Amino acid sequence: MANADLLGKYQPQPSAQYGVQIASWLLLCCVLILAMIVLGGITRLTGSGLSMVEWGPITGTVPPLNESQWEATFRNYQQYPEYQKVNRSMTLAEFKSIFWVEYAHRLLGRTIGLVFFVPFIYFLVRRRIGWALAPKLVTMFILGALQGLLGWFMVKSGLIDEPRVSAYRLTAHLALAAIIYGYVLWVALGLLFPKAENDYQHVKSTRRFSFVVTGVIGIMIISGGFVAGTRAGFAFNTFPLMNGMLIPDGILAMKPVWPNFFENIATVQFDHRLIAYSLCILIPAFCYYVHRTGVVTRTRVATYVLLITLVIQVSLGIATLLLIVPAGLSATHQAGAFALLTVSLFINHELRGRSKKL
């Protein structure tokens, strides 16, 4: 009875105005998540990810503040495999340079948590969150907390024997980031565009096609995680052939066969190229298919943006490979993958069925 009274007192008053406010907040979170993903790539490429050997969700927010604290932090780092096997000649000044990159990455993660949590409480107290929306926002918060735990689980894999994080854990961390990003974006789009403009029955097959495209983009992002985790981008730095071969030697050298797709550098890079080639066929075909259907202009324009984004992303990928993975270009290539995901999700949302009121 008490619970019923409490629920009775909380009468949410969602409106179009509040929907735009909440969507703007969620889109800000999307921007910060994307920045977190790009910074994570830079952290990995600069060899900074294992410089902070303790998690410290609260205490880790404060960096070393004086020289003695820096020296203690550096001594702690020296107890772990990365220093002992890779960086034994590293100076304190060099350590600071990698520490600050990883610190920025973790601080941004905590900032995202605050940027999400504080407005959530505000909107909740002001009764601006509808009943259908509340569990979705709670789900976002839980996923964000799990992402923080998974990030530390990933880092721990590089602090035991080998100074390199597990490719499986790194890819899981990236995949969960993509899921969170996509989910937050989808909910924001639902608030901005609560009514479907396209005739669902008329574009049902187009909708299925669009989800196939998005699925392949998701597979490409996961494949990119294994490319990063195995450092496969530093091998076979030729295009379109892989060191003069269409299919490189040793592509199925591991026994049993299945680890080749996740651990064999030749196979991992070959698969990533193959997925990119698939998108080079799928997306133009999808654009042509959409052009022949009766979708609204906004949806049709989005498909053209998707095609342009693909051209840019493929160009970035080829340049990253040929230039042997420079950090800035590689991070831009990673951002390009999420740009593709963003546009494809927008198209999926445009082709959805009738939405429920949030």
pLDDT greater than 50 at residue 171: yes
Alpha helices in the chain, H assignment, sequence order? 2-9, 16-45, 67-77, 81-85, 92-125, 134-156, 167-192, 204-230, 260-263, 265-291, 297-322, 327-350
What is the phi/psi pair of residue 189, to 5°? -65, -35
Exposed (0-12), middle (13-18) or buried (19+): which is 293, by Cβ within 10 Å?
A: middle
Beta bridge partners of 245: 242
Same domain, yes or no, for 183 and 216? no
Of 116, 98, 256, nearest in space to 163 by CA: 98
Cβ pair 167, 229 in contact under 8 A: yes
User: Domain range holding 349?
Assistant: 197-358
Q: How confident is the model at residue 58 (pLDDT cuts 50, 70, 90)?
A: confident
**pLDDT score for 61:** 85
Identify whether 1 is part of a domain: no
90-125: b (≥16 Cβ within 10 Å) or e: beeeebbebbebbbebbebbeebbebbeebbeebee
Residue 263 lies in a domain: yes
Domain assignment of residue 167, yes or no: yes
Checking if the pLDDT of 346 tops 70, the result is: yes
Domain end residue (candidates: 192, 218, 237): 192
Report the Cα 176 to chain-centroid distance in Å: 7
Query: What pLDDT was estimated at residue 355?
Result: 44
Residue 178 has pLDDT above 80, yes or no: yes
Within this chain, do residues 27 and 64 fall inside the same structural domain, yes or no?
yes
Q: What whole-number percentage of the chain has pLDDT above 70?
A: 93
* 342/213 same-domain check: yes
- Which tops the pLDDT comparison, 356 or 96? 96
In a domain, 343, yes or no: yes
The last residue of a domain, from among 192, 224, 244? 192
CA 313 to chain centre: 15
Verify that 329 and 298 share a domain, yes or no: yes
Question: Could you say which of 170, 192, 214 is where a domain stops?
Answer: 192
The confidence score (pLDDT) of residue 16 equals 62
Q: Is residue 202 part of a domain?
A: yes
65 assigned to some structural domain: yes
Residue 32 has pLDDT above 60, yes or no: yes
Residue 323 banded pLDDT, cuts 50, 70, 90: very high
Amino acid at 145: A
**296 confidence band (pLDDT: 50, 70, 90):** confident
Question: Considering the domain boundaries, does residue 22 fall inside one?
Answer: yes
What is the chain's mean pLDDT, rounded?
A: 91
One domain, residues 220 and 121: no
| Residue 3, in any domain of the structure | no
- Please check whether residues 111 and 206 belong to one and the same domain: no
Asked whether residue 20 falls in the same domain as residue 88, the answer is yes
Say how many domains are in the chain.
2
Looking at the structure, tell me whether residues 141 and 181 fall in a common domain: yes
Residues 38 and 51 in one domain: yes
Quick one: pLDDT band at residue 116, thresholds 50, 70, 90?
Answer: very high
Same domain, 32 and 110: yes
Do 208 and 166 have their domain in common? Answer: no
Q: Which one of 13-22, 131-140, 194-203 scores highest in mean pLDDT? A: 131-140
Same domain as 89, residue 219: no
